[in-house]
Amino acid sequence: MKHTIKFLIVFLISTNVFSQNSESESVLKSFEKYKNAVLNDKGKIAADYVDSRTMKYYSDVLEKVKTADSTEVSAMGIIEKLTVLSIRHRASKKEIISFNGRSFFEYAITSGIVGKNSVMKSTLGEINTNGNFATAELFINERKTPFYFHFYKEDNIWKMDITNLFSLAVFTLNKTIADSGKSENDFILNILEVMNGKKPTDEIWKSVI
């Protein structure tokens, strides 16, 4: 009887470890597929590996792209402001009106608005799963950071919540802006011009519809 109990305990522990390892590998595969899609401007594939929270964020921002006036845009946080102005600068009115949350995200990837630098030097460290939620250590240039990617299992696929790392993006952008000696708006306008070689006009501050 004792041997049977010991066997069951070992079996259950081994099964749990195997399950954890299997899920961790699935998380890593999803990250690599997303990363490869971003690096190769494949928006449709990248969209398959971001979660519903990310899609909701892009749907919400799209509404602001369409309707926010200059006062509203000026009051936005750096990430939202940069995204709204980037889309207005690059996409046509017809394209913007036709977007939904997913196609908006796909366009952001394909057009390079979501930059390759966001994943190019990123790798995952230790991965921990708990049901349909997982965290993964973020390494940049093979150095561990205090930040974590969040993944959620949706439709039986591990998908990234990229909004979880916006705090890192905000910190990086604000530091870069401070180092540049430019105002936030001037810095953004310079980025937009560098992105496609076209000087932004005042129209990007106005609502599209």
Strands 157-160 and 143-154: antiparallel
pLDDT at residue number 7? 39
Per-10-residue mean pLDDT of the chain, 209 residues long, equals 44 43 94 96 97 97 97 96 95 96 95 83 95 96 94 97 92 93 95 90 95
In single-letter form, the type of residue at position 182 comes to K
Contact 165, 33 (CB under 8 A): no
Q: What is the pTM of this model?
A: 0.85
Contact 89, 200 (CB under 8 A): yes
pLDDT at residue number 10? 40
pLDDT at residue number 115? 74
Facing residues of 122 across strands?
Answer: 140
The 10s digit of each residue's pLDDT in 103-115 is 999 999 998 888 7
Neighbours of 126 (CB within 10 A): 11
pLDDT at residue number 149? 96
H/E element, 143: strand 143-154
Helices (H), the chain: 2-39, 43-47, 52-67, 70-74, 78-90, 93-98, 101-110, 117-120, 166-180, 184-196
